[in-house]
Amino acid sequence: MKATTLRRIGARVATLLASLLIALTMAFALGRLSGDPTATILGPMALPEQREALRHQLGLDQPLLVQYFDYLKGVFTGDLGDSLQFYQSNTTMILDRLPFTLQLVAAGMSLAILIGIPLGVLAATREGTWWDRGASTLALLGQSVPVFWLGMMLVVLFAVKLGWLPAGQSGSLKHLILPAVTMALYPMAHIARLTRASMSDALREPFIDSARARGISTTRVVWRHGFKNAMMPILTIIVLQTGVLMSGAVAIEYVYSWPGLGQLALQSIQFRDFPLVQAIVVFAAVIFVLLNLVVDLLHSVVDPRVR
Amino acid sequence: MTELLTISGLSISARLADCDLRLLDDVDLAVRRGQIVGVVGESGSGKTTLARSVVGLLEKNVRVDGGSISLAGEQVVAPGVDLTAGVRGGQVGMVFQDASRSLNPLMKVRAHLAEVLHRHVPGIDKDEVRRRSVEVLEQMRITDTARVLDSYPHQLSGGLRQRVAIGLAVVTRPSLVIADECTTALDVTTQTKVVELFRTLVDELGIGLLFVTHDLMLASDLCDEIAVMSSGRVVEQGTALHVLESPEQDYTRRLLAAIPAWN
């Protein structure tokens, strides 16, 4: 690797660490803004002394700045505090739920990519035809249908009426189908629209004509010359969408009682379990920062001009 | 000498929303082996349409109304006939205007050459690809072939890029090369070198060259024959000397008058 490349990556890492710090600070501040958790935990009948004791136990009687630095120290050593409702380490709970969410996101994203990219390429290579209009309508529809509604409709059709697939919970491949399809729809539509736009720009480039003039086959012109040049924005959106799904599949996990991070987040919010909420937000922020770094690295792998 | 490219009575029009637009009107043109024919005209005169029609790179709404294009006696284009896919890149090589945009930015020069060789030379092996890649770059008067082969287009100078683009057009040993405004994006010194290169290539390889340009002086320097185009017609045709010295058409005279004088 060249020195300029290293310097560029170094600068990116520095920016990402700065944005991570801002995200961590905001997560901390939001946790403190949501009121005194001791009231929720101990109930309305608790004595002031009991609440004071709990505040001391949770470290809430410390000055804010001390709490903040304790929290940062915890984050960087992998200790995200303990949950107020489950009496467990937040880190352990997040790591327990993570495989379920990863499984769902991997299935949903693969589906979205496998359908979205060919759909977008089809539309771009047949611009202005009925293929194009059909694909674009499908993509628009996919982006406008609310996931919770789609999820419930799929359950009604495939689980209740036809009885082909289970309505919820996890376990087998059959359990994965409905939530994965539901999850795939929005990113599929997004990927298809972006692929179409990016591809139709790429196919207008002069190097496409010159490749055709050299007698290169249409398939090769479309994929090797067109798609490879159209790929960067598509890759970016795939990686960032993965981040969104990993931390935000709340509605889907709720509809299908899928035991992933989204459910955990919902439970923590309902209980005002602020250490857990904060831990999940921190986790999501770290995921986003890492994925952004992945996008950057991918960019320099794909395009020699930014190396 | 044998006729390599014969265009006779070629008429081409574009279908627009409300009318048909004539792009080429009854164009006759011939290129022989070892000959450079210049097509000169201002923007919109139809010279690029003419060049692209030979390799079948016309827009979807453009169709051939009449006439034909033949290569070495075989008809490739006529109304309802388009056999250009069979000659593209093999028998006919094409060089485009701006090499910074006509080369794929994500592919090394080596990959460009390998791709076109694999496509047109059946059963070619790795060593032969390497040998012919180096050979063609040397023909392009490129000295540091190893570096150029391992470069991406953006790592090369404009002149070098255009040489690579020309090399890509001739590496399959075509009999006809079409150059569409391929010196326009270059500075004058580089332009001169590219023009000299074309001259030697035509003499060495015995190819025919159809050289499309808006630059009448450049064409008269390089070409054996010149066709002057205006509004889709060839308005004047003859040897470079003849067109320059005793233009018969008012249009050519005006083109000549538009060239700034030094004194």
For residue B132, give the CATH number of its domain: 3.40.50.300
From residue B216, alpha-carbon distances to B52, B220, B229, B244 in Å are 20, 6, 11, 9
Q: What is the pLDDT of residue B254?
A: 76
Q: What is the pLDDT of residue B208?
A: 93
A→B interface, C-beta within 8 Å:
205-207, 209-217, 220, 224-225, 228-229, 302-305
Put simply, the answer to whether B94 touches A229 (Cβ < 8 Å) is no
Q: What is the pLDDT of residue A59?
A: 79
Say how far residue A259 (Cα) sits from the centre of its chain.
16
Residue B78 lies in a domain: yes
Contact B150, A249 (CB under 8 A): no
Candidates A207, A217, A224; nearest CB to B103: A207
From residue A47, alpha-carbon distances to A53, A54, A60, A62, A85 in Å are 10, 11, 17, 20, 20
Contact A191, A113 (CB under 8 A): yes
Instruction: Please indicate whether residue A168 or residue B214 has the higher confidence score (pLDDT).
Output: B214
Residue B262 lies in a domain: no
Backbone angles phi, psi at A204, to 5 degrees: -90, -5
Q: How far apart are the CA of B179 and the nearest CA of chain A, in angstroms?
A: 12
Residue B23 lies in a domain: yes
> Could you report the per-residue pLDDT of A146-186, keeping only the tens digit for each?
888 888 888 888 877 887 777 777 777 778 888 888 898 99
Q: What is the pLDDT of residue A158?
A: 81
Q: How far is A36 from A22, CA to CA, in rounded Å? A: 23
Which residue, among B102, B152, B170, would best test binding to A if mutated, counting the most A CBs under 10 Å from its CB? B102
Contact B31, B176 (CB under 8 A): yes
Task: List the single residue in B with minimal CA-CA distance to A230.
Answer: B106
Residue B219 lies in a domain: yes
If you count residue pairs, one on A and one on B, with CB atoms under 8 Å apart, how many are there? 67
Q: How far apart are the CA of A134 and the nearest CA of chain B, in angstroms?
A: 21
B→A interface, C-beta within 8 Å:
55, 57, 85, 88-90, 93-94, 96-98, 101-106, 115-116, 119-120, 152, 154, 165, 168-169
Structural domains of chain A, with CATH: 13-76 (no CATH), 94-306 (1.10.3720.10)
Candidates A213, A216, A224; nearest CB to B55: A213
Which residue, among A132, A204, A205, A207, would best test binding to B if mutated, counting the most B CBs under 10 Å from its CB? A207
What confidence tier does B261 reach under pLDDT thresholds 50, 70, 90?
low
Task: List the single residue in B with minimal CA-CA distance to A304.
Answer: B106
Average pLDDT, chain B: 88
What are the per-10-residue average pLDDT scores of chain A (307 residues)? 75 88 87 73 80 82 86 86 84 90 92 94 90 90 87 82 76 82 91 94 93 92 93 92 82 86 88 84 88 87 82
Count of domains forming chain B: 1
Q: What is the mean pLDDT of residues B62-77?
A: 91
Q: What is the pLDDT of residue B262?
A: 63
Put simply, the answer to whether B119 touches A228 (Cβ < 8 Å) is no
Tell me the residue range of the domain where B118 lies: 3-257
Sheet order of strands, B36-40 included: B92-95, B176-180, B208-213, B36-40, B225-230, B233-239
> Does residue B104 surpass a pLDDT of 90?
yes
> Does residue B127 surpass a pLDDT of 90?
yes
B102 interaction partners in chain A (CB closer than 8 Å): 206-207, 209-210
State the ipTM, two decimals: 0.88
Q: What is the pLDDT of residue A54?
A: 82
Q: Which amino acid is at B56?
A: G
Residue B263 lies in a domain: no
B98 interaction partners in chain A (CB closer than 8 Å): 206
The per-residue DSSP string of chain B comes to: --EEEEEEEEEEEEE-SSSEEEEEEEEEEEEETT-EEEEE--TTSSHHHHHHHHHT---TTEEEEEEEEEETTEEEEETTEE-GGGTBTTTEEEE-S-HHHHS-TTS-HHHHHHHHHHHHSTT--HHHHHHHHHHHHHHTT-S-HHHHHT--GGGS-HHHHHHHHHHHHHTT--SEEEEESTTTTS-HHHHHHHHHHHHHHHHHH--EEEEEES-HHHHHHH-SEEEEEETTEEEEEEEHHHHHHS--SHHHHHHHHTSPP--
The separation between the first and the last C-alpha atoms of chain A, rounded to the nearest angstrom, is 9
> Could you report the per-residue pLDDT of A177-234, keeping only the tens digit for each?
888 888 989 999 999 999 999 999 999 999 999 999 999 999 999 999 999 999 999 9
Q: Where are the alpha helices (DSSP H) in A37-89?
A: 37-42, 48-58, 64-76
E strand or H helix at A255, and its extent?
helix A250-255
Candidates A213, A224, A228; nearest CB to B57: A213
B168 interaction partners in chain A (CB closer than 8 Å): 214
> Does residue B2 surpass a pLDDT of 80?
no
The 10 Å CB-count burial string (b at 16+, else e) for B218-245 is bbbebbbbbbbbbebbbbbbbebeebbe
Indicate the range of A229-233, A285-289, B103-107, B130-134 predicted with least confidence: A285-289
Q: How far apart are the CA of B139 and the nearest CA of chain A, in angstroms?
A: 19
